[in-house]
Amino acid sequence: MTEVIVLNGGSSSGKSGIVRCLQAVLPDPWLALGTDTLVDALPAVMRASDAGIEFAPDGEVTVGPEFRTLEAAWIEGIAAMARAGARVVVDEVFLGGADSQRRWQQALRGVEVLWVGVRCDSAVAAGREVARGDRAIGMAASQAESVHRGVVYDLEVDTTRTEAMECARAIAARVG
């Protein structure tokens, strides 16, 4: 039985919309957690410091050592939730590509995971970033390709011309 679905994609690739559709179409209740949850949980000062996470004006994101420590514990916690019986959809941005996936794989050893890549044409994602109006301009373009580098998926969806609901149905069909 699939215990965790990990969605990885760049900013404004449409992950959150797919997650909400997944929660609506999957018959069991799934928890939705992810990068945004973790960032909201950080002290305000860490969102703009060398030790924390930094959103540059051009959309580049860098993270410091204190963030890495909290993130590692956060990932362990989500793995523990899955082992304790919650089914969890994780909405992630693998800033480190394959390295990021390895961190999740290690924490989730023994847990049945469906790895999903969420792709979106870079120019289209950049336009949606403007349309959203709540993200630093440039993140979409800078992350569109880099977050997938070296990452291995069970399934990939592309939101460039496919609605979130349709992507969610394709993913749900692969959930055991």
Residues at the site binding a second copy, with contacts judged by CB under 8 A: 14, 16-18, 20-21, 23-24, 29-33, 37-38, 40-46, 51-52, 66, 69-70, 72-74, 76-86, 124, 127-128, 130-133, 137, 161, 163-166
Q: Where are the alpha helices (DSSP H) in 64-163?
A: 65-83, 98-107, 122-132, 139-143
CB of 93 to a second copy, least distance (A): 18
Question: Is 154 one of the catalytic residues?
Answer: no
Closer residue to a second copy in complex, CB, 66/154: 66
Is there a contact between 11 and 128 (Cβ–Cβ < 8 Å)?
no
CB of 156 to a second copy, least distance (A): 19
Q: Give CA–CA dist 81/75, Å, rounded.
A: 10
CB of 123 to a second copy, least distance (A): 9
* Selected catalytic residue, list 28, 36, 58, 99: 36
Closer residue to a second copy in complex, CB, 110/152: 110
Is there a contact between 120 and 158 (Cβ–Cβ < 8 Å)?
yes
Closer residue to a second copy in complex, CB, 97/169: 169
140: tokens are 């979409």
What are the C-alpha distances in Å from 144 to residues 63, 85, 90, 139, 154? 18, 33, 18, 8, 19
- C-alpha closest to that of 162 among 21, 6, 33: 21
Closer residue to a second copy in complex, CB, 18/151: 18
CB of 121 to a second copy, least distance (A): 10
Catalytic residues: 36
